[in-house]
Homo-oligomer: A and B are copies of this chain.
Amino acid sequence: MHTPRHPLSYALFAVSLVLASAHVAAAADDPLSSWNDGAAKRAVVDFVQRVTTPGGADFVPEPERIATFDNDGTLWAEQPMYFQLAFAFDRVKGLAPQHPEWKKQEPFKSFLAGDLKGALAGGAKALVQLVMVSHAGVTTAEFEQTVKDWIATARHPRFHRPYTECMYQPMLELLAYLRTNGFKTYIVSGGDVDFMRAWTEQVYGIPPEQVVGSTIKTKFEMRDGKPVLMRLPEVDFIDDKVGKPVGIHKFIGRRPLLAFGNSDGDHQMLKWTAAGRGLRFMGLVYHTDAEREWAYDRTSHVGQLDKALDEATARGWTVVNMQHDWKTIFPPPAGR
């Protein structure tokens, strides 16, 4: 905008400034400005207003306003593969020089030769082997640093931006909106809890103690006179499907008032939330946008959404249609 010279232009300029700031103010006043006006946005706002209105029939005291969010496919993308798996694969490649024996040992041999299909021919066991060597055998502090280093440098293969910029802008707004309204926002994800905690506070504003996830066992040891926690190659807890209500009960000990997922892995969490007394909110992010993100549902290997979609439809849970409900998908790139 250039500064006008004519007196009338000045008046128009002043008016345009007022209008422009009114526009900005309107956008700033809308905490969910990346959401199109529609049923999904209305359902969220209506729910929050009802449970936070003192004296209202649906009022819920602040300590009970627990909101749980799945991570992969709900807060950030999960295609073409779970981002944690991309981390695991990069890590195996990075560790390979220290493990000459992998050249003769499956699934590492195929994997390092670039044959992912061959590597995964061993099924779940092969995958667990790849994940365990990349996630265990180090202290918790070392693992945290490894994740931080990776997440700072790795780029998403399609969007060519850091994975931490592949989260959904409308969901970031929803997290902030809920916190402004006295909710405690939690992640409840099948991902490794320590993989997530290395960056969730910075990226989502969700502190480590509000991240629930899958865990591997750790062991307390004294090393050179200093206590460390060693990460063991042994699964402790899988926070997925029927594990999600178990994880919520174990880590939080309180039933969510609001829960958001995107796949059948979240179905039991949504059922558990819905079964609570009084008003509850159950939401699904439905990936319908092949152009701006991806479109997948009932037959997808990653983030299959089938039974949960049927129950959502039958019970009137909120289904967020990514293509129609979201003005933007990702946040603007950070200044790089």
A254 interfacial by beta-carbon distance below 8 Å: yes
Q: Decide yes or no: A207 and B63 within 8 Å by CB, A220-B242, A245-B227, A245-B229 being known contacts.
A: yes
Docked complex: A192-210 residues within 8 A CB-CB of B: 193-194, 197, 201, 207-209
Q: Are A218 and B194 in touch, CB under 8 angstroms?
A: no
Q: Are A227 and B197 in touch, CB under 8 angstroms?
A: no
A47 interfacial by beta-carbon distance below 8 Å: no
Q: Are B193 and A253 in touch, CB under 8 angstroms?
A: yes
**Interface residues as binary, A229-252 with B (CB distance below 8 Å gives 1, 0 otherwise):** 100000010000011011001111
Q: Which residues of B contact A218 (CB under 8 A)?
A: 246, 249-250
Give the CA-CA distance A219 to B243 in the complex, in Å: 8
A226 interfacial by beta-carbon distance below 8 Å: yes
Q: Which residues of B contact A250 (CB under 8 A)?
A: 193, 215, 218, 236
Q: Which residues of B contact A82 (CB under 8 A)?
A: none
Q: Are A253 and B219 in touch, CB under 8 angstroms?
A: no
A272 interfacial by beta-carbon distance below 8 Å: yes
Q: Which residues of B contact A66 (CB under 8 A)?
A: 209
Q: Which residues of B contact A229 (CB under 8 A)?
A: 245-246, 249
A271 interfacial by beta-carbon distance below 8 Å: yes
Give the CA-CA distance A207 to B218 in the complex, in Å: 26
Q: Which residues of B contact A226 (CB under 8 A)?
A: 275
Q: Which residues of B contact A227 (CB under 8 A)?
A: 245, 268, 271-272, 275
Range for the number of chain A residues in contact with chain B: 20 to 34
A211 interfacial by beta-carbon distance below 8 Å: yes
**Distance to closest chain B CB from A284 (angstroms):** 17
Instruction: Name the residue on B nearest A244 (C-beta).
Output: B220
Give the CA-CA distance A242 to B222 in the complex, in Å: 11
Q: Are A268 and B220 in touch, CB under 8 angstroms?
A: yes
Q: Which residues of B contact A249 (CB under 8 A)?
A: 140, 218, 229
Give the CA-CA distance A208 to B229 in the complex, in Å: 25
A184 interfacial by beta-carbon distance below 8 Å: yes
**Interface residues as binary, A277-293 with B (CB distance below 8 Å gives 1, 0 otherwise):** 00000000000000000
Q: Other CB < 8 Å A-B pairs besides A140-B249, A197-B253, 20 of them? A: A193-B250, A193-B253, A207-B254, A208-B252, A208-B254, A209-B252, A209-B253, A215-B250, A218-B249, A218-B250, A219-B246, A220-B245, A220-B272, A227-B268, A227-B272, A227-B275, A229-B245, A229-B249, A236-B250, A251-B251
Q: Return 10 A-B CB contacts under 8 Å, by A number.
A: A63-B207, A193-B250, A208-B252, A209-B252, A218-B246, A218-B249, A219-B242, A226-B275, A227-B268, A227-B275
